[in-house]
Structure formats: C-alpha cells, structure tokens
Amino acid sequence: MDAPGGLLKSGKVIVVMPAYNAERTVALTVRSLPPGCADEIILVDDASQDRTVEVARALGLRVIVRESNAGYGANQKTCYREALRRGADYIVMVHPDYQYDPRVVPAMVHILRCDICDVILGNRIRTRREALCCGMPRYKYWSNRLLTLVENIALGQNLGEFHSGLRAYTRRVLETVPFENNADDFLFDTELLVQAVRFGFRLGDVPVPVRYGGDASSINFVSSVRYGLGTLATVAKFWVDRLGLYQPRIFQSPCVPQEG
C-alpha cells in the first residue's frame, strides 16, 4: 500500500547477486540482509570454479548458472534481465563477496520508494581514514577520488563516489537505459551510471561500511589503469553525445526487456 498522500510507492524488490567464486562469502552476505527487505534474491553464477552454486541453492536463492565466464558486466546483464522478467519494481545489486554491508539495503529502497532518486549507490568513502583502515589499497583510494571528482564535474553530479558495487535502481531506469550495449567487464558499472545521467535520471548515495578482505572481489593495478582510462573515455562519450557531434553506441537503441 502507498503511504498517505501517495508519497511512498509500493512494488516488488529483487536483490541480484553477480557471483564468481563466492563460496566462502555468499552465506554471510545473504544472512546480513535484513529480514524481509527483498521479495526475492537472484544469484547469477559466472561459471565459478568452486561451490558457489551449491551453497546458493542451499540458501534458497534463485540461481542462474552461466555456462562460460563472460565477465562482470555480462553477469550483470543477466541479473537485470531476469529481475525485470520476474516483475521487479526495484532492483538492488549486492556483491556476494561480503565487501559491502547489506544492512543499508532497506534505506536505499526506501529512498527509491519515496521517489527522491532513481538510482542509489552505497558510498564506501565517508572519510579517508576509514576507507584505508578498512583495507582499501591506497592507489584505489586516490584513483577513486580523482575519477569521482572528474565525473561529478563533467556530469553535473555530487556523489560521494561513482565506483561502488552496491547499487539500487528503479525498474524504469533499467527499462530505459540501453545497458545491453555496455561492456562485459568492470566498465559496465561506469557506463550504466553515465547512461542514467544522460537519460535524465536522479542519482544519490548513502554511506555504507566496507570490508576489504581476501575474499573481496577486486581488480589488479593494470586492470585498474585500464578501467580508469575507460571511465574517462565514457565521460567523453557523454559530452560527444550531449553536444550532438556523434551518438556513441551506449546511448543508442534503449533496450526494453520483454516479459515472459
């Protein structure tokens, strides 16, 4: 039911988990989700080499297994297609590596239900000291700060960080932006946010405790450099499109997933 005055929207909440070798952390992540915060949890396994699938099924999750490892972005595409197909009104991506504290999921969804924002991110960097003490490598911290500064200025936003893996979207966002045109690797995340800005959606964030442990998913230094350059290229595409010089593929042909 909607709240008095129609300020709070109802709708189905689905948590999606793009998984790869998360056998040791998926149960911790699922059990940290506040009871009743999601109507359904979908885990998409990207051809893990461990027992992620068996553990997820034992937890009662809806599990989809990709036959071959296609990458983090490709995994998310499957997550979002399935969530939309199953009637989600609000979709929350939670990494099953237990890096992000999922206790904030209800708060993220509440902001979407109140129609304050269309996209909500978990902001891991409340203070420099906290981020570094929680194990974030220094080069990742400083690259995150620099890229986020550039993105905020170039895209007209004011996010605490653009590179969080804890995200919540309304259904309309994922039905509007052409996420199928995005990269199959980690650049997918940046492209989706830039698309959301370009299509006029409202972005916001909430503070979230973060844990950098041995099981947390991450990319190495070389891949981080490539990711950073790809992020800058994506921001440049935003302006190329906005100025009407050329329409990059990531802004073409919005995908409208089919029901059924």
Angle (CA) 154-72-167 rounded to 5° is 55
Spatial distance between the Cα atoms of 113 and 75, rounded to a whole number of angstroms: 26
Where would I find the H helices in 97-137?
Answer: 105-113, 128-133
Give me the pLDDT at residue 1, please: 40
Q: What is the pLDDT of residues 169-187, one digit of tens each?
A: 999 999 999 999 999 999 9
Q: Report pLDDT digits (tens) over 61-108.
A: 999 999 899 999 999 999 999 999 999 999 999 999 999 999 999 999
H or E element that contains 59: none
Take residue 115 and report the two structure tokens written for it: 């129609």
For residue 238, give the nearest of 162, 172, 146, 170 by alpha carbon.
Answer: 162
Domain ranges of the chain: 9-238
Q: How far apart are CA 1 and CA 127, in angstroms?
A: 38
Mean pLDDT for 40-56 is: 97
pLDDT > 70: what percent of the chain? 92
| Mean confidence (pLDDT) of the chain | 91
Q: pTM surpassing 0.85?
A: yes
Architecture of domain 9-238: Alpha-Beta Complex (3.90)
How many residues are recorded in the chain? 260
- Provide the token pair at 9: 């929207």
C-alpha gyration radius of the chain: 17
